Amino acid sequence: MTIFTASKVAWDGETHLAVRIKGTDAILTLFDPQSPPAGRTHLKGEETAVTLGGHEFGIKLSPATYENLLAFDRKVSPQRRLVALGREKGVRHGLGTGNRVVITEKDVGSLGHPEALGVFEGIFRAVKGSGVPDWFIQQSIVRELIPEGVSPEDHPGLGHTGGYGPRELLRSGLFAFLALGGYAAPDFFIGADADHAIVTGANEEELQASLELNRIAIAESKDYTKFTVDTSRLFGFPVSLSPEDEKRLKAAFLGRTWEIPNILPGHPGFSYTFEEGEILALGRKYWRACQVHKELYEFIAGLKGDEPFDYELSLDETASPTEPKELLFYLVLLYEVMGLPEGAVSSAAPNLGFRKRSDYEGDVEGDLKPRTNACASILAHFGAALCIHSGSGAGIETGKGPGVDQALAEATGGHIMLKVSGIYQEILWRTLAASPRLEDRELFERAWDETHRVTRFLDLVYRRLVAGREAAEAMRLLEDEAELARIGDEWGNR
């Protein structure tokens, strides 16, 4: 048995520890059999009493299942730690730490290092030491993860981090948080972000299929505390506004002026008005995207009941940066036309000109800072925080490029959230490659060689089968095992 000693917490006469025993994550509870039972009654497991050295004490062993870990957080711990950081704690800055190196239940039995907790360990040390609010558990629920009951064959590319779903990510993250001492540290709160529910579709049929997949993923993520929904691929979705729709738009926008205070005290604010033609054009552009936000927000609210949750808008995966005036329009459309409840949006991520895994290439002083300042000010006016997606740049030391993070902080007065993910894999590989331990370096070499092997093979497959073909036809060819074997032999001979 491996005992995570940092996890030790004692409440109401019971001592709880995270352990691994015979390849299984578990919660070990020690107690006085003569005392009335306390928190352990909420954990499903087996208990017994033993006598050692003339002293009797009780032992309960509870598998670290999804249900038991949630019960530990909500009912055993005197202070709930998994919370809606925005709604419950008023957080308007922090870090979302997407983690694609996870120790799942199926991995535990074959661990070479029984105390391994994946990348969660490094993230925990960093945020605990800095005190930065952290969405400790975060992955895209319809890109990196694959919900239970969804076939990966029906959704190519889904679940590419290993085939586990939102429930298993939350389970592994909560176990890591317990094992590393999260419950032993006073007032250490974390969030869990069901990140990037991505809604797509070129027509209504495709849109409904995408919505169904996202509802399945969101339903499995119902115990998360934050939901990030991306409808940016629906911008410009073809709609025909009825006379009543146009009337609602004009009533919300025509003849009004929005005076937006600057988020930076002492700096000039912003003033926005909309002309009739502009109102109707923007209304058509964003109508279906905002309808979907309303629908999914209400779906989440139904799942959560009285449980508070944070809701984030993702607007960043677009071809061009978000105009601040259009961000204002989007929020007014959501609240005043679609009827989203006041304060529903906790945060939003406009497109500030960033590309994934690339340094910022634009004008920091002339474009990035003023755009960021305006967007942050508009969001603050609606009680929401600015979030930066695609926060990892070309290197691990400089964020989105030298000086960019500092410029973002200056433009927002520090009221900013940042999401990063891919950076942790690069840090892991660099650490392994430079490790004084031979086995670490050998692991890196194996991973390096396998990556090269797979990418060279996939490149050949792409050139031979996929390039220039329709996606559906390409997928049918990729499922032809005989053809793939023949190509594999050809690659091996080369």
Q: How many helices (H) and strands (E) does the chain have?
A: 15, 15
How many CB atoms lie under 10 A from the CB of residue 401? Answer: 18
Q: Which of these, 36, 30, 34, 33, lies nearest to 10 by C-alpha position?
A: 30
Per-residue pLDDT for 245 more than 90? yes
Q: Which two tokens stand for residue 316?
A: 């960043």
Give the model confidence (pLDDT) of 336-380 as tens digits: 999 999 999 999 999 999 887 788 989 999 999 999 999 999 999
Q: List residues bridging with 100 in a β-sheet.
A: none
* Least confident window among 77-81, 85-89, 126-130: 126-130
pLDDT at 485 (0 to 100): 60
More reliable by pLDDT, 465 or 138? 138
For residues 440 and 433, give the distance between their C-alpha atoms in angstroms, rounded to a whole number. Answer: 7
pLDDT digits (tens, 9 = 90+) for 438-469: 988 998 899 888 888 777 766 766 665 555 55
Q: Which amino acid is at 138?
A: Q
Buried b (16+ CB within 10 A) or exposed e, 141-180: bbbbbbbeebeeeebeebbebbebbbbbbbbbbbbbbbbb
pLDDT for residue 391 is more than 80: no
The answer to whether 152 and 165 are in contact (CB under 8 A) is no
* 176 pLDDT higher than 80: yes
- pLDDT score for 432: 86
CB 299 within 8 A of CB 214: no
Q: According to the model, what pLDDT value does residue 483 have?
A: 58
Q: State yes or no: pLDDT of 479 exceeds 80.
A: no
Q: Tell me which of 8-12, 16-20, 401-405 is least confident.
A: 401-405
End-to-end CA distance of the chain: 48
Q: Is the pTM of this model over 0.85?
A: yes
